[in-house]
């Protein structure tokens, strides 16, 4: 996606981009241009926030056993959170491209979490429950599933699927494969849109990374890869010295 959107996605784990940015904040970026002229990959991002009096430091690294890699601080802790393996609707995804309340999605904001993923990636039930309905409002949602979870007091929704593997009324266990991710409905790229809503107050949407029944964590670089990771970060630092992009934030 666009350079600015990519930066905003990383910064969203660190601060409220719309409210916390200030004049005088300093942003440094090391990036590479991909084959397509308009496509960039951020390798390192450093953001010094005067208002929050702290610095975000994100370094791209793809370690052993990581299908896609991720962004880590200098101590080897991943910037983005992950949902615990037993409860995650999708285990293998490229990145999270949108969170609930993301107002880039329109005036009312975004109601779910978007996981950018290859078509055909297994989608699992976050909690045990029953299938309430499948594939409604297909023009917008594409193939989709809604599950009911009385014990947790929520319903979960899974949108833009390529295949639905369950039927209405069916009981599903936590972690059971219910679908495959896709690119159906109103979508710009293959991804899973995942929603956690209150059963009673339908308009109440939970951020899955803060929801009390979802355990979340940060991945850490494994101890045997720390040296390699530090070498990668040092290489980024050297690139920044030579030809990175530094910007002092100015309003207007």
Domain ranges in the chain?
1-80+218-252, 82-216
pLDDT in tens, 154-202: 999 999 999 999 999 999 999 999 999 999 999 989 999 999 999 998 7
Query: Smallest Cα–Cα separation from 156: which of 113, 93, 96?
Result: 113
| Local confidence band at 246 (pLDDT 50, 70, 90 cut-offs) | low
- Which residue would you say has higher pLDDT here, 105 or 13? 13
pLDDT in tens, 141-156: 999 999 999 999 999 9
Lowest model confidence (mean pLDDT) among 26-35, 53-62, 212-221: 26-35
Topology of domain 82-216 in CATH is Glucose Permease (Domain IIA) (2.70.70)
For the domain spanning 1-80+218-252, the CATH number is 3.10.450.350
**Mean pLDDT score of the chain, rounded to an integer?**
89
pLDDT in tens, 118-135: 999 999 999 999 999 999
d(CA 205, CA 111) in angstroms, rounded, equals 6
Asked if residues 239 and 45 have their Cβ atoms less than 8 Å apart, the reply is no
Sign of the four-CA dihedral 76, 209, 97, 55: negative
């Amino acid at each position: 996606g666009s350079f600015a959107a990519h930066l905003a996605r990383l910064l969203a784990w660190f601060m409220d981009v719309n409210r916390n940015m200030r004049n005088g904040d300093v942003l440094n970026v090391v990036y590479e241009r991909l084959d397509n002229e308009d496509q960039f990959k951020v390798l390192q991002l450093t953001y010094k926030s005067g208002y929050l009096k702290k610095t975000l430091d994100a370094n791209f690294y793809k370690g052993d056993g990581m299908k896609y890699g991720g962004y880590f601080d200098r101590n080897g802790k991943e910037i983005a959170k992950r949902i615990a393996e037993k409860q995650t609707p999708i285990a293998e995804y490229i990145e999270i491209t949108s969170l609930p309340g993301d107002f880039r999605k329109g005036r009312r904001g975004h109601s779910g979490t978007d996981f950018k993923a290859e078509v055909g990636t297994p989608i699992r039930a976050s909690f045990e429950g029953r299938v309430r309905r499948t594939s409604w409002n297909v023009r917008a949602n594409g193939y989709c599933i809604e599950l009911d979870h009385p014990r947790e007091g929520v319903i979960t929704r899974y949108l833009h699927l390529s295949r639905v593997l369950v039927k209405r009324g069916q009981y599903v266990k936590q972690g059971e494969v219910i679908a495959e991710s896709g690119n159906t409905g109103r979508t710009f790229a293959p991804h899973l849109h995942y929603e956690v809503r209150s059963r009673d107050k339908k308009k109440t949407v939970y951020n899955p990374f803060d929801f009390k029944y979802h355990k979340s964590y940060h991945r850490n670089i494994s101890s045997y890869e720390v040296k390699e990771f530090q070498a990668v970060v040092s290489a980024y630092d050297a690139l920044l010295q030579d030809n990175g992009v530094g910007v002092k934030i100015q309003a207007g």
